[in-house]
A = this chain, B = another copy of it.
């Protein structure tokens, strides 16, 4: 019972990697199998359907995001330090942990915005959770006295995501060398507005 789990993990890992470049639909069982030196049927035997595999890959992504971005930020003191850590982590996540591959969530957001089903549902759930996490961090910064009390935390959260999306757009599609600087400047401006 040990070898199976190990292989299964390898499949999900590889699928996660490929999905960052090709989208979840773009990862076919055939190419996934051959890139792992596995037979297609041998690979498929680990999952009930391709959709089940896709859901596992999405879950893997959520786990990685939590580990890479959310948890470290929660280790920081409430208020601006934590918010800063979240934004830094978010940028570094989008930049790609190991260089290649883009943010899976933003890819899937477009891939599934018109495709109903469990994958879309789970994706929406995770995106709302991320927005809530950001908004909560903003509210804590308010209660810590770091930010004004009159601000709209949900508005701030979605603007933060907007900065992240623009960053991805600039860095991955346009190959803009100033992308980092731009994202940072946008964040600083947003913060200044919230502080005032």
Contact = CB atoms under 8 A, between A and B. Distances in A.
A59 interface: no
A141 interface: no
Given A111-B23, A114-B102, A162-B162, A128 B174 contact: yes
A109 B169 contact: yes
A186 B158 CA distance: 9
B110 A111 contact: yes
A182 interface: yes
Interface in A130-177: 131, 152, 154-155, 158-159, 161-163, 165-167, 169-170, 172-174
A124 B186 contact: no
A52 interface: no
A128 to B, nearest CB: 7
Is chain A's binding surface mostly helix, strand, loop or mixed?
Answer: helix
Contact of A161 (B161, B169, B185): B169
A124 B173 CA distance: 7
Interface in A76-129: 102, 106-107, 109-114, 123-124, 127-128
Given A110-B106, A110-B111, A173-B124, A158 B162 contact: no
A195 interface: no
A56 to B, nearest CB: 21
A189 interface: yes
A31 interface: no
Which 3 A-B pairs rank lowest in CB-CB distance, beginning with the nearest? A162-B166, A165-B165, A162-B162
